[in-house]
């Protein structure tokens, strides 16, 4: 099903270069963002802006979800780790791209948000998403290694456990910094870590043992 409210947003993001991958566009058009925001903010669900989801957390702007998904170069069948479930919206978009043969493991430190996200994801049929309540800065060793990892909160550096749990040849996207943040794309090639700065961003703080 196509979410008609998303069509003009996706078309604009394609024109502006935020979306370069057809798979990202198709995924955004399928995920009902209004289901992931608090009821009192549903009139704003299809505006390209962050929105509060409570507990000092936000659902990312649509262009940022598109940009991170594109940078990750997601493929069908990938196993992906998300640090910072929040509303569950970003995980749903990734789940659409990796497909039923793929898997998204998403970690949220705030129990109420984890529970809410899991309920919405189940209601919408995203059975390829596993929601875990815990410290995302430590990753999730039982299902490692991961083809792709992304972080939806900013820390002073990329947590070492996440780099260790990334497959050789895998990619990781994370906002890095405190007052001033940059979105960093890291690619793991053997003992080499290749980093690319994708530009300035603004995210909530990454909290945890390695945050």
Could you tell me how far CA 95 lies from the centroid of its own chain? 10
Choose among 179, 173, 82: nearest CA to 121.
Answer: 82
Q: What backbone phi and psi angles, to 5 degrees, belong to 157? A: -155, 170
User: Which residues are known to be catalytic?
Assistant: 60
Work out the angle at residue 170's Cα, subtended by the Cα atoms of residues 94 and 141, and round it to the nearest 5 degrees.
Answer: 80
* pLDDT tens-place string over residues 4-45: 999 999 999 999 999 999 999 999 999 999 999 999 999 999
Q: How many CB atoms lie within 10 A of CB 150?
A: 27
**CA 87, CA 118: separation in Å to the nearest integer?**
9
* pLDDT tens-place string over residues 150-191: 999 999 999 999 999 999 999 999 999 988 899 999 999 998
Question: Which domains, ranges and CATH numbers included, belong to the chain?
Answer: 4-201 (3.40.50.150)
- Burial (CB < 10 A; 0-12, 13-18, 19+), residue 61, is middle
């Amino acid at each position: 099903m196509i979410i008609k409210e998303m069509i003009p947003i996706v078309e604009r993001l394609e024109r502006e270069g935020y979306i370069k991958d057809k798979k990202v566009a198709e995924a955004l058009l399928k995920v009902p963002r209004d289901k992931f925001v608090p009821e009192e903010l549903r009139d704003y669900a299809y505006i390209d802006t962050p929105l509060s989801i409570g507990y000092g957390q936000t659902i990312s702007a649509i262009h940022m979800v598109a940009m991170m998904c594109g940078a990750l170069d997601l493929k069908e069948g990938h196993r992906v780790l998300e640090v910072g479930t929040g509303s569950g919206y970003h995980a749903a978009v990734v789940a659409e791209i990796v497909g039923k043969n793929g898997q998204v493991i998403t970690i949220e430190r705030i129990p109420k948000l984890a529970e809410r996200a899991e309920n919405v994801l189940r209601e919408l049929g995203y059975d390829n998403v596993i929601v875990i309540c815990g410290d995302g800065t430590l990753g999730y060793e039982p299902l490692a290694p991961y083809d792709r990892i992304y972080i939806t909160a900013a820390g002073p550096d990329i947590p070492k456990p996440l780099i260790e749990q990334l497959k050789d040849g895998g990619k990781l996207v994370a906002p890095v910094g405190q007052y001033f943040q940059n979105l960093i794309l890291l690619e793991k090639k053997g003992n080499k870590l290749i980093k690319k700065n994708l530009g300035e961003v603004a995210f909530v703080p990454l909290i945890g043992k390695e945050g």
